[in-house]
Chain A
Amino acid sequence: MRKSLSERIGFFLLTLAGILVLFILGVILLDIFSKGIKTISWEFLTQPPREGMTKGGISPAILGTFVVSLITVIFAVPLGMFAAIYLHEYARPGKMTRLIRLSIRNLSGVPSIVYGLFGVALFVQMLKFGTSILSSGLTLGLLTLPWTITACEEALKTVPQSYREGAFALGATKWYAIRTNVLPYAVPGMLTGVILGLSRAAGETAPILFTGAAFFLPHLPRSLFDQFMALPYHLYILATQHQAIEKVRPIAYGTALVLLGLIFLLNLSAVWIRYRYRQRMRG
């Protein structure tokens, strides 16, 4: 069939849009990588900053992001998993279930800075956790909760209905069937979702701005009630607040690359788990 002119031009424009999106990502990754890689060294990854951030490394920020993410996971994963089990295994269709689902969708649309405000009001002030690792971790936990619930529910959906029915047919109670015949098969899928949620939480800055992140700490945090340094916050400060902005630019680029690398690694491991899990389900 001969292609008309309008079709050619139209499809050309659509292709251009696709290329442009590819180009945007390419520019972002290339710029960060090419300029950040020069800064990356063993010292950069393992040493604390020296001489007002202009020298040394970013190890406390890496450690801080790691620890806060750990709190986030410990807090959000059980709650998210239980909520997903309720929604997928127990909930009957009705007003209540609709309301819960509506709340979850809306929670995932609440701006991260509003979570930050909530964290300050609830964890820092009301519960008196102060600006601390705990406050930040819990705030990020709330932020990731809707994603965790959705991911865990998706994982439960992949377990065939016949697995449950098989257990029921043998006289198992509902909980017994879920525990033995559903959860073991859903866990890898849940893990994938949790890691993806975690990779988003690790890059969040707004919720930790006032709940515990600090620009510079002379020593590592000693308890959950200490402040901490974090990669995204470190990058923000280096990019906007430092008195010698041009001088610390290489370190800012290095920090951005480490942050992107960390998120990339998390995503990659999630994809790997999903791949392994699919193979096992097939076999």
Chain B
Amino acid sequence: MNKKIHETQTRIVFTKFQRRKLKEVLIEKFFLLNGLLAIVILLGIFSLLFIKSFPAIRELGWKSFFGSTVWNPNSYTTPQYGILSLILSTLMVTLGALFIAVPLGVACAAFLSEVASPRIREVLKPVVEILAGIPSVVVGFLGIVLLNPLIAKVFVISNGLNALNGAILLAIMSLPTIISLSEDALRAVPNTYKEGSLALGANPWHTLIHVSLPSALSGIIASIMLGMGRAIGETMTVLMATGNAPALTFNFLEAVQTMTATIAIELGEVPYNTTHYYALFVIGLVLFAMTFVVNLVSDIILQKYQEVER
């Protein structure tokens, strides 16, 4: 009799425990679902871009996009959808931006980590953060009101809205990424490396050039790739500052039209579900693929570099 009571009690406790456990499992599954969301969204973006660009690719074929440099979808007789000149403009402005931002950004990072006193660092670090927080539309606005007349004056041309203007603005936009990540990389260089170099009689400058920078190189390259990814995808600054003429040019003083700017200008004007509309999604898909690859490469470099550090 006594034993039986004990048994039932155990059973009740057990079911209570089970119920509690079930609740815990359900809660964990709920959080797991939210965790999976990131994958779902990334796949969702890719598949929706693909679905929306498919009608245009089916109608026109890949060749009319990647085999031509003429982007003229509004032509009444023969609309043309060649995106090579758009890709080229994007690359031109991006590389121009990196040409300015990489030396400046890495030098600033080296200044922050090797030269600046703690007090100066405390001033400059927030400066970099504030710079990162300035919206792209404000930077683009300054491209119009400040850089535009300046470039026109310096190069004696009528209009300062060109690839150079866009490149300078994009350099400013990607500087914070390059500075803060390069500085992290330089800081991660073990002190023993520097001390060893200094002990051998090298001065701090040689130590920086021959020891610290080479050891931090993978991190610095990753930061440059991330800055590049930002520059490729940046919309408002190039939309406002590069003049928007979809033409094939290698001249930095001429107006260009990037991929992002093309989408921004034309998506608002075309009716939904037309060939032109779908063609803009093709540009979006290519843009997505480009930034995806750039980000992935920078990610792989960073992961490798962290593994080596450990």
Contacts and interface: CB of A to CB of B under 8 A. Distances in A.
Interface of A: 1, 3-4, 6-7, 10-11, 13-18, 20-22, 24-25, 27-29, 31-32, 79, 82-83, 85-87, 89-91, 99-100, 102-107, 109-118, 120-122, 125, 142, 145-146, 149, 173-175, 199-200, 202-206, 209-210, 232-233, 235-236, 239-240, 249, 252, 256, 259-260, 263, 267
B135 A11 contact: no
Contact of B38 (A83, A199, A235): A83
Given A122-B48, A175-B28, 13 more contacts: A7-B203, A18-B112, A25-B127, A89-B31, A110-B42, A110-B233, A111-B232, A115-B45, A232-B236, A236-B239, A240-B239, A240-B240, A256-B141
A142 B48 CA distance: 14
Contact of B20 (A15, A173, A232): A173
B232 A259 contact: no
Interface stretch (B74-82, B151-159, B283-291): B283-291
B146 interface: yes
Nearest to A235: B137
B266 to A, nearest CB: 10
B296 A106 contact: yes
Main secondary structure of the interface of A (DSSP, over half): helix
Nearest to A99: B39
Nearest to B267: A210
Nearest to B143: A239
Interface string B97-114: 000000110011011101
B205 A6 contact: yes
A86 B260 contact: no
Contacts of A118: 44-45, 48-49
B209 A10 contact: yes
Contacts, number: 258
Contacts of B179: 21
Contacts of A122: 44, 48
Nearest to A18: B111
Main secondary structure of the interface of B (DSSP, over half): helix
Chain B interface extent, by class: 35 or more
Interface of B: 20, 23-24, 27-28, 30-32, 34-39, 41-42, 44-45, 48-49, 51-52, 103-104, 107-108, 110-112, 114-116, 120, 123-124, 127-128, 130-131, 133-142, 144-146, 172, 175, 179, 203-206, 208-209, 226, 229-230, 232-236, 239-240, 260, 263-264, 267-268, 272, 280-281, 284, 287-288, 291-292, 294-296, 299
A31 to B, nearest CB: 6
A236 B45 CA distance: 26
A260 B114 contact: no
Contact of B144 (A18, A240, A260): A240
Contacts of A149: 38
Nearest to A112: B235
A24 B138 contact: no
B235 A117 contact: no
Contacts of A100: 35-36, 38-39
Given A107-B42, A118-B49, A21 B137 contact: no
A121 B233 CA distance: 19
Contact of A209 (B42, B139, B267): B267
Contacts of A142: 41
